[in-house]
Amino acid sequence: MDEFIRWCDDKGYPLATHYQVDGDKLYFFGGISVEEEVEAYVIGFSSIEQYVSAVVLLFHDQCRLNLNVPTNHPQIPDVKTLLKNERKKETRRRKENYADRVAGSILNGYSTTDELTKVVDYFLTKD
């Protein structure tokens, strides 16, 4: 959330709506600020999704405190399109880099069925 607040400060929104969440702010924050971080640090889609979730949570808090109106929901179609495009970019990047889909799973490092069978047998016979 600190990133969103700093971003709002940098953009110089009017004082009355300075930190008020709306769809356009979320779209521009996600499209500009998060994209810059993606290029600088190569963060994954899940991180971008967490940014969006945090801003939407702030929106819900503002609605609960009567600081925002429920009809002004930040996940406008542009934001959904941005998320969809980022997911596609990450999928393409993983394919280009031959990312291992089983990394971190039980299949990680076991190349044959025989080796995997030995692992299963070991744990089944263990007291």
Per-residue model confidence as pLDDT tens digits over 12-63:
877 778 788 888 888 877 766 555 555 556 677 888 888 889 889 999 999 9
Spatial CB neighbours of 74, under 8 Å, sequence gap ≥ 6: 21, 22, 23, 25, 26, 55, 56, 59
User: Residue 86: which residues within 8 A CB-CB, separation 6 or more?
Assistant: 38, 45, 48
Of 59-63, 92-96, 109-113, 123-127, the poorest mean pLDDT is in: 109-113
Domain boundaries, the chain: 2-99
Cα distances (Å, whole numbers) of residue 25 to 16, 34, 50, 62, 96: 15, 12, 16, 15, 32
Q: What pTM does this model have?
A: 0.58
Whether pLDDT at 90 is above 60: yes
- What does pLDDT average to over the chain? 79
Cβ atoms of 30 and 48 closer than 8 Å:
yes
